[in-house]
Structure 1
Amino acid sequence: MTNISMSPFTNEIERTDPPRGFTMPHFTPYKGDEDSDRHLKHYCSTMILYKNNDALMCKNFATTLQGEAQDWFHTLPPQLIQSFNELSFVFIKKYSSNLSIKKTSDHHFSIVKDPRETLHDYVKRFKAKKAKIVGYNEDIATAAFKNGLPTEHSLFRKLIMGEELTLAASYA
């Protein structure tokens, strides 16, 4: 049995039992090498029915950690964590270097067709990167798509002349 005084949770959290009939949902373990914010959001959305039960949220979150992340958890000072908000804060702070960088519409302009790349591959790569952009804007994406084409490319000339103005038409 774990010594309560050595737990990073307060005694109140440690002494709280899960609600009757509670079954822990399945989580992919967090090992410390992925986006910590994504893991935390997935955990919170899965545990949404229990969000007001801090003790349950804390104790079960600890079970979603594995490997290096589990080792880190056990290095937290005793009695440090009083709430799930505190646990979330120290978790994100520890693994902030693993957060995915959110891309904005300006990122479109860094996508340029490589001379050795086929138009099909450029479109495929552009679409994949566009999907990762927060607040996607059709006009900016269309301008960036044109900007990424070499000026001698026939599609570039068509786009500049206004024959095909939408991104969907450009892809076709």
Structure 2
Amino acid sequence: MILYKAEDALMCKVFLMTLPGAAQDWIHTLPSGSIIRFKELAYVFTKEYTSYRTIKKNPDHLYNFRKKSDKSLRDYIKRFKAEKANIAGCDDRITSSAFRTGLPAEHDLYHELTITSIQTLAEFYATVERYAL
């Protein structure tokens, strides 16, 4: 609509029609006549709903993952893979390095992964899964 240089009033009305339930209810709580331009509406909407958006995680987030001492290796693998699935464009080397870093240094798999030269993530996961069995 900005591309076609639509009027602010029209842009506001069309925007309101795109809002689902709770956001639609919220918009009606604004004082009448308090929004004049679409830019103002965009600002108050963003201010209200910014905290609800999901924050994209970068690959470095995986380095915060640790194997819990009271949990199994299988649990760590499952949790790590699930977290890795939420990160787009994660390099294989970062993934394997972060996984190894999350293991306790005295863990046998940590030593295995440090010594073994693994080329692909598929090989890495195969080694980890084989070890977990």
**TM-score of the pair, normalised by structure 1:** 0.57
1:34-49 alignment, distance < 5 Å: none
Q: Provide closer, same or farther for how the CA distance between residues 59 and 149 of structure 1 changes in structure 2, counting only shifts above 3 A.
A: same
What's the CA shift for 1:135?
Answer: 4.3
Distance 1:113 1:81 in 2: 54
CA RMSD of aligned residues (A): 2.6
* Counterpart among 114, 130, 146 of residue 84 in structure 2: 130
1:1-172 alignment, distance < 5 Å: 52=3, 54=6, 58-63=12-17, 64-67=19-22, 69-77=23-31, 78=33, 80-83=35-38, 85-172=39-126
What's the CA shift for 1:92?
Answer: 1.5
> Which is bigger in relative contact order (C-alpha 8 A, separation at least 6)?
1
Question: Gapped runs of 5+ residues in structure 1?
Answer: 1-49
Give the fraction of aligned pairs with identical amino acids, expressed as a percent.
45
What's the CA shift for 1:98?
Answer: 1.4
Number of residues of Structure 1 aligned to a counterpart in Structure 2: 121
Q: Provide closer, same or farther for how the CA distance between residues 132 and 81 of structure 1 changes in structure 2, counting only shifts above 3 A.
A: farther
What's the CA shift for 1:79?
Answer: 5.9
Judge conservation of contact 1:62–1:70 (CA < 8 Å) in 2: yes
Question: Gapped runs of 5+ residues in structure 2?
Answer: 127-133
Q: What stretches of structure 1 move > 6 A for 4+ residues in a row? A: none
User: Residues 39-68 of structure 1: CA distance to partner in whole angstroms, max 9, x if unpaired?
Assistant: xxxxxxxxxxx674656653243232323x
Judge conservation of contact 1:158–1:164 (CA < 8 Å) in 2: no
Q: Provide closer, same or farther for how the CA distance between residues 165 and 97 of structure 1 changes in structure 2, counting only shifts above 3 A.
A: same
Distance 1:130 1:61 in 2: 35
Q: Going by fraction, where is helix more abundant, 1 or 2? A: 2
Distance 1:51 1:131 in 2: 35
Matched to 1:126, the amino acid is F
**TM-score of the pair, normalised by structure 2:** 0.70
